[in-house]
Amino acid sequence: MKIQIRQENPQDYKAVETVAREAFWNLYFPGCHEHYVIHKMRDHEDFNKDLSFVIEVDGEIVGGIFYTHSKIVADDGEEYRTVSFGPVFLAPDFQGKGLGRKLITHSIQAAKDQGHRAILTLGYPYHYEPYGFLGGKKYDISMPDGKFYKGLLALPLYEGALNDISGYVVFSDVLEADDKEVDEFDQSFPPKEKKVQESQREFEEVSAMLDE
């Protein structure tokens, strides 16, 4: 099995969106919007192309990780630039084989090499704690509503990067997707059935959990 992690090329776009759609379909809610978010992210001012990668197995794209610029707005109004990843995904047949770890580790090292302060993301803590991510509360970083959620995770990229910064995170608005636009974009892909499933309830519960 030959594995390669590299930056995305324009000729990869449709394949990447197709894999993302397969990976996220019905996972967090009926259908998904991640493939559309990736599609519009590439032309957005917050897109960080230098940190966005695809992973190939034997020449076939089976996953990817996409980064955008984000920031922490401190209590005194000062802003600190950070980066954030998501979507990150693998084709269903390639999950559980350690490829996600390779992809995430590769991108974290790239973010360090490029001198970024910290990575902030939203996700399941047990997915990202092995990489050194901790809840935002540990660093006194909240969501814009001032609350500390368990799903807000932070990874300083150098010693003291988040010391003495208290504030809230602002993620790129490119991560938000309009249902109508997603449905229109989805017409260019083979039909798939939207379903309600257990993973959606779990996601809803975890998303609302406060770090208390």
In a domain, 125, yes or no: yes
Distance CA 131, CA 108 (A): 9
Tell me, what's the pLDDT at 212?
84
- From first CA to last CA, the distance across the chain in angstroms is 44
- For 92, the 3-state DSSP assignment is helix
Sequence-distant (6+) residues with CB within 8 A of 139 are 154, 156, 162, 165
In a domain, 79, yes or no: yes
In a domain, 191, yes or no: no
Instruction: Identify which of 50, 39, 151 has the alpha carbon closest to the alpha carbon of residue 106.
Output: 50
Averages of pLDDT over each 10 residues, the chain, 212 residues: 96 98 97 98 97 97 98 96 98 96 98 98 95 97 97 97 96 96 96 95 91 88
Quote the domain boundaries for residue 56: 3-175+196-208
Full-model pTM: 0.95
In a domain, 181, yes or no: no
Q: Is 97 left (phi over 0), alpha (psi -120 to 50) or beta?
A: alpha
Tell me, what's the pLDDT at 193?
96
Q: How many domains does the chain have?
A: 1
Q: What is the DSSP letter of 210?
A: B
In a domain, 185, yes or no: no
CATH of the domain at 107: 3.40.630.30
In a domain, 184, yes or no: no
- Tokens 């229109």 correspond to 184
Helix 34-41 with 179-186: angle, nearest 10 deg: 90
In a domain, 187, yes or no: no
Burial class (CB in 10 A: 0-12, 13-18, 19+), 134: middle
Q: What is the DSSP letter of 158?
A: S
In a domain, 130, yes or no: yes
Distance CA 131, CA 153 (A): 11
